[in-house]
Amino acid sequence: MRYMMEITMNNKKSLAQVHIAVLLFGIAGLFGKMVLLPASIIVIGRVFFSSTFLLLYLLGTKKGIRMKERKHIFYFLMMGVTLAIHWSTFFQSIQVSTVAIGLLTFSTFPVFVTFLEPMFFKEKIMSRDICIAIITFLGILFVVPSFHIGNSDTQGILWGTVSGFTYGILSMLNRKMAKVYSGTLIAFYEQVIAFAVLLPFFFWEQPIITIKNILLFILLGIAFTGISHSLFINGLKNLKTQVAGIISSLEPVYGIVFAMIFMNEIPSKREIVGGVIILGTALYSTVKNK
């Protein structure tokens, strides 16, 4: 009886950790509007403070940071580059359009995962997977106000879709490396490499960094990246991946709600309909794949 009570308490704690993490993930998108700097510079600030936090955590808990095999360097390089593209396109999407569009189009990543898994793990593509992709595409059509490349919302949708696609690739690489390394160590290496990849853009853009920017970077990097990812990873210890995936579908909902409260960004009826379709197919893909 006592053993069952301990399991229940652990499950409740894990559920709380994952919900808090997903809430923080959703709010992170708002920084694309709060920090008035290019998307690449926002990501540089994010990964610098987050990777520093993760390094201190790994050293403080006396966990090793060495790679087990030399060939893993190539995988981590791929993951770092992919993460840099993913976060840069994500914030770019939000900057040129809205938080809602950026989050909703990013949420297409489970559909991309459905098609990427057969390529990475030699699994068969089912006909229903093609149907899911078509329905998701229809959802994106609802979000698009007009098909003009000069339209800011259209640009945001394109950037957001690229963000979802690259995150799908990153998920596959994470799945492969998670068999060998802890999630915290993977996140650390990904972010350090992403920082190195994007650093030239800092000298290219030569941004004017204010004290306010630095404080926002610290908040984004530590609370909304380092801590949130640690909570999410710890929460997975006592939860099924499917449950965590379902909770993760709330990320755009949290982000849109906070954007409505703090930035007065009210989604249009088309965005709401398209969002329901996209999130519905993403949720179905998550449940089916897990």
Weakest-pLDDT range from 49-63, 161-175, 192-206, 236-250: 236-250
- pLDDT recorded at residue 145: 64
Question: Which tops the pLDDT comparison, 240 or 24?
Answer: 24
Q: What is the pTM of this model?
A: 0.85
- pLDDT recorded at residue 287: 66
Amino acid identity of 4?
Answer: M
- pLDDT recorded at residue 166: 93
Question: Which tops the pLDDT comparison, 202 or 142?
Answer: 202
* Alpha-carbon distances, residue 76 vs 52, 83, 233 (angstroms): 17, 10, 18
- pLDDT recorded at residue 222: 93
Is residue 274 a contact partner of residue 142, using CB atoms and an 8 Å limit? yes
11-39 mean pLDDT: 88
Query: pLDDT tier at 147 (50, 70, 90 boundaries)?
Result: low
267-286 mean pLDDT: 77
Query: pLDDT tier at 209 (50, 70, 90 boundaries)?
Result: very high
Tokens representing 67 are 């790679």
Work out the burial of residue 23: count CB atoms within 10 Å of its CB; fewer than 13 is exposed, 13-18 middle, 19 or more buried: buried
- pLDDT recorded at residue 61: 85
Question: Which tops the pLDDT comparison, 233 or 34?
Answer: 34
pLDDT 10s digits, 2-21: 444 444 566 777 788 888 98
- pLDDT recorded at residue 207: 92
pLDDT 10s digits, 76-92: 999 999 999 999 999 99
Is residue 238 a contact partner of residue 85, using CB atoms and an 8 Å limit? no
